[in-house]
Amino acid sequence: MPTPAAASRVYFIPAGSGRRERDLMDFVFPDYSPPDFTCPQLSGAPVVLLKEAKQRGVAPEGYHATSIFPEYFQVKKGVWRLAHESRMDCVATLGKGRALAVKEFRRIEAGELVACGRSENGQDGIFVHPAGFRFPEQAQEKFAFRARLTRETSFSTDYDELYGLLRHEREHGFVLWVLGPAVVFDRDARDAFVSLIEGGYVHALHAGNALAVHDIEASLFGTALGQDIYSKKSAPFGHYKHLDAINRIRGLGSIDKAVRLGIVENGIMKAVLTRRIPFILAGSIRDDGPLPEVVADVYKAQDKMRGLSRRATTVIALATQLHAIAIGNMLPSYRVSGARIRPVYFYSVDMSEFAASKLADRGSLTARPILTNVQDFVVTLMRGLKGG
């Protein structure tokens, strides 16, 4: 079983920022403390009940639905195993060697042993441990102005922490970005995100058809939804531009071919394809076209998204409420690497207070909203990482 790991401390100071040493901030990964299995509550707990699935894709009665938190299962007396890749609304199965696997319902095989029990305090041999990470406590008065996050909230410290986190993750983690099309509606934001890719801060990308369509439209015509991405002036027959972009790529057969032929000369899709950064474009009922690389089957898209998401140590979602919630539901709040257990960080950036707080409402330990225009966010982030 993984043991508690000492906090990793990442010191940083932006070059040229003029900060004095006393102003130096550091990014600290919180310590993780496993449950005390010698306490009476857990030492007297039963072994988890395992029931055989009678039908493919159907869990037995009384199944235990997993959460994003660390969950332990007593597979035999005195042996508690941590589910390494727990995530919301799945089941835990026990295979050969008493190994735990977390599966979606549609992946349950007939004859598999599924953990059962609805209590989470050890009473059924299952213990959910939401207090494993020791995050810095923030004292709060019973009454205080601006206690809730709004668009008027100061986010300077969030940016500084994010700079430190991303510098660490660039070398030691896996940063997954979840993008809405607003990122490419602005020339500076689009260029800034390409700089983040070139700087090594993007390890994978999730998006929908629209992000790729308007990024390619910007490369071909300098517009997004027919509007110039710098001047905001509408182009003649601008409403055709995104359809023309889709049609041209479909005629070639792929975005990748368009990049290799030099037809798509710049932008986010060119940058990720050139650097072989994995990306998934998930289809939607709203899609035009769609582009050839878009995964139109929702369950195939979900499987591919889970495959990349399970590698993520930090996720940053920009102006895409549905995709952000989807990825949030696919992720645990922690990652196990050898003997180390660390949190998975999740930033949701949006102008909408509802959209930004929705992710935190799912119960994530580390979901953090930043309420701002995503175009401003990307440019500010890029400049901060460059030290400008």
Task: Give the pLDDT mean for 99-128.
Answer: 95
Model confidence band, residue 228 (pLDDT cutoffs 50, 70, 90): very high
> Which has more pLDDT, 147 or 266?
266
What CA–CA distance (Å, rounded) separates 194 from 212?
A: 13
Least confidently predicted of 17-26, 100-109, 120-129, 205-214: 17-26
Rg, C-alpha atoms of the chain? 23
What is the residue-wise DSSP string for 124-144? TSEEE-TT-B-PPP----SS-
pLDDT at 218 over 60: yes
Quickly tell me which residue has 């959460």 as its tokens. 67
119-136 tens-digit pLDDT: 999 999 999 998 898 776
Listed in sequence order, the residues at least 6 apart from 38 whose beta carbon sits closer than 8 Å to its beta carbon are none
CATH code reported for the domain at 40-128? 2.40.420.10
In contact, 269 and 212? CB cutoff 8 Å: yes
Q: What is the predicted pLDDT for the residue at 25?
A: 47
Annotate 282-307 with b (16+ C-beta within 10 A) or e (fewer): bbbeebebbbbbbbeeeeebbebbbe
Indicate the fold that domain 156-386 takes in CATH: Rossmann fold (3.40.50)
136-174 tens-digit pLDDT: 654 444 444 444 566 677 788 889 999 999 999 999 999
Q: What is the predicted pLDDT for the residue at 169?
A: 95
Task: Give the pLDDT mean for 98-119.
Answer: 94
350-376 tens-digit pLDDT: 988 877 667 666 555 567 888 999 999
Strands 345-350 and 367-371: parallel
User: To the nearest whole percent, how much of the chain has pLDDT over 90?
Assistant: 69
Q: What is the predicted pLDDT for the residue at 109?
A: 95
Helix (H, G, I), strand (E, B) or coil at 352: coil
Q: What is the pTM of this model?
A: 0.86
pLDDT at 388 over 70: no
What CA–CA distance (Å, rounded) separates 386 from 199?
A: 9
Query: Which ranges in the chain are annotated with CATH 2.40.420.10?
Result: 40-128
Closest residue by Cα to residue 75 from 104, 53, 105, 95: 95
Least confidently predicted of 90-99, 101-110, 236-245: 90-99
pLDDT at 17 over 80: no
Closest residue by Cα to residue 341 from 4, 9, 1, 100: 4
What is the residue-wise DSSP string for 253-291? S-HHHHHHTTSS-SSHHHHHHHTT--EEEE--TT-SS--
Least confidently predicted of 7-11, 102-106, 325-329: 7-11
pLDDT at 181 over 60: yes
Bridge-partner residues for 79, per DSSP? 76
Query: Which ranges in the chain are annotated with CATH 3.40.50.10690?
Result: 156-386
Listed in sequence order, the residues at least 6 apart from 203 whose beta carbon sits closer than 8 Å to its beta carbon are 173, 174, 175, 176, 277, 278, 311
